[in-house]
Amino acid sequence: MKIIRHVGADDLEDIATGGAVLGTGGGGDPYIGKLMAQEAIRRHGPVALVDVEEMPDDALIVPACMMGAPTVMTEKLPQGEELLTAFRQLERLLGRKIDAVLCCEAGGVNSTIPFVVAAATGLPLVDGDGMGRAFPELQMVTFTIHGVSATPMVLCDDKGNSLVLDTVSNAWTERLARAATIEMGGAALLTFYPMSGAVAKKAVVRGTLSLCDRIGRTLRETKAAHGDPVKALVRLLDAQILFHGRVQDIERRTEGGFARGRAVFGGVDEWKGRELRIDFQNEFLIAERDGEVLATTPDLISVIDADSGMPVTTDSLRYGQRLIAIAYPCDPMWLTPAGIDLVGPRYFRDDRDYQPIRRD
């Protein structure tokens, strides 16, 4: 099998940073997943990153991830063994060995969690994911668009509990797994969406982890050269700058296993006297400037520290922070009718249709 590269512990710095950018405010604290992955790689060795095209059609590929509200994940640190427990239990359920690991989402903690399993098992990690960003619910993956079932799923917590789900739809998987996660303390680790190599070649958003690495490396190298990290990021992602301002108000609550709310920014410099509002459910979903919608889900909205270029998550927004909001295009699979039904604004109780990013 042709390997794109071997990922070592030091490489996780850039990948975690890039995952936090693509996480669009959600996906959990990337620092947690990075530390877990680095420890696993130091203990077991580097992880082989492979293109999905290199996988045989009859290979069994399984994503691994963490589920729960980002505000809980920062306080409820996983032990790491939960992931291997979920992984091995799913193998027993399926009656065969798993051939490769996959990311569910390219966001925050879940961009690095699969490295833990890949390192500990010695299995390759597919360079891709099911979103190309982060979304708050389990059924919100490109795998669903292609008819992949989320179950059988194994859900584990830090106390040693495990739960197997076999559901009638991926939406029901989300409802039942969310309820179990709340009972498990607000965060759990899981394996799900088992698929063949043939299906993965159609359903996976490709090159996500390589993109995470490029984002992190671009920010790091630009800062080292005393350049403008925000401008470098905008060029890399073909992004649009939506606003430059300070956090004036933040409404945030943990509800139903999600971090929900709205952030309001007051403009600075050329944006002085103007206002930006961003609604979020774990991730930033809709950006509205002076009453005009600029970007909506499924396109990506990221909030970046104006000085460092580092991404800011919804749970770390604080009054007075000086931030820049950017938006950039999603994977084309999300712009199909099935994709918009799954993750468009109306799913999130907003009565507006999807709007392409406004280019000023």
The predicted structure's pLDDT at residue 307: 86
Residue 189: count other Cβ atoms within 10 Å of its Cβ.
30
pLDDT per residue of the chain (360 residues) written in tens, 0 to 9: 789 999 999 999 999 999 999 999 887 677 778 888 999 999 999 999 999 999 999 999 999 988 875 555 555 555 567 788 889 999 999 999 999 999 999 887 889 989 999 999 999 999 999 999 999 899 999 999 999 999 999 999 888 899 999 999 999 999 999 999 889 888 888 999 999 999 999 999 999 999 999 999 999 999 999 999 999 999 999 999 999 999 999 998 877 767 789 999 999 999 999 999 999 998 999 999 999 999 999 999 999 999 888 999 888 899 999 999 999 999 999 999 999 999 999 999 889 999 999 877
Determine the pLDDT at residue 109: 83
Report d(CA 198, CA 284) in Å as an integer.
33
Domain edges within the chain:
5-208, 226-348
C-alpha 99 chain-centroid distance: 23
pLDDT at 128: 98
Radius of gyration of the chain (CA): 19
For the domain 226-348, what is the CATH code? Answer: 2.40.390.10
How much is the pLDDT for 359?
Answer: 77
Distance CA 306, CA 95 (A): 51
DSSP, collapsed to helix, strand or coil, labels residue 248 as strand
Q: What is the pTM of this model?
A: 0.93
CA separation for the pair 294, 284 (Å, rounded)? 13
DSSP for 274-313, please give it.
Answer: -EEEEEEESEEEEEEETTEEEEETTSEEEEEETTT--B--
Task: Note the CATH number of domain 5-208.
Answer: 3.40.1610.10
pLDDT attached to residue 72? 55
